[in-house]
Amino acid sequence: MLYLRRADERGKADFGWLDSRHTFSFGHYYDPKHMGISALRVINDDTVAPGAGFGTHGHRDMEIISYVLAGAIAHKDSMGNEFVVPAGEVQRMTAGTGVTHSEYNHSKTEPLKFLQIWVIPNQRNLPPGYEQKAIPQVGSLTPLVTADGRDGSLTVHQDTSLYRLQLHAGETETLNTTDGVGYLHIIEGGLEANGQALGGGDGLGALDEPLTVRAGAGGVTALWFDLPRQVEQRG
């Protein structure tokens, strides 16, 4: 079974300093048909004006992943971390028992574009934690965030793996899942997956069905989530 999410059908928020597209219900955007898939709760496609950003605010019991597409995030949190996250790097923050942080566009002249991803953890009340890394592409499918930190990936407290998919024009890949649940989010370029043509911002969920993808003429960069069938939280 497939779940198609078109880019132009996503929720929208425009605050002047922030232009955001919500794949799943978030903030003032609510749609009971789009509440997330498995442990994947949020994919926000955010564009932040120069010098602007999210002031200090709190989270708990959530794994928050930031994938920077253009520009850089100036990150500061209550754990004492103060870092710049440039384009191409991946950041994972475990909110756990509670953490406050701020995220600003590091540039005063250029916009920041990044994906904000929330994953429900498999345990409540974890100690807050933070990781950040540049992960080079190796082959067509590279692990970015996994439960066991394999192959140099960041770790996440859930039976979830997040991969970056990169294909040149006409290249193909079969995307399999461990537990039968997957979600593909297109960053740029285009592809065809199981008969569906997808472009930037589009998403395709799969239940008990592997995706066979073929990159379009300009190639494609995408994120592939291998997700658990059951979401359970201990603690």
Q: How far is CA 74 from CA 3, 19, 102, 106, 220, in A?
A: 35, 18, 8, 5, 28
235 has pLDDT over 80: no
pLDDT value, residue 233: 87
The mean pLDDT value for 220-231 works out to: 96
CA distance 46 to 32: 22
Residues contacting residue 178 through CB under 8 Å, at least 6 positions apart: 159, 161, 226, 228
214 has pLDDT over 90: yes
Q: How confident is the model over 49-94, as pLDDT tens digits? A: 999 999 999 999 999 999 999 999 999 999 999 999 999 999 999 9
pLDDT value, residue 116: 98
113 has pLDDT over 90: yes
2-227 CATH choice from 2.60.40.1180, 2.60.120.10, 1.20.1090.10, 3.90.700.10: 2.60.120.10
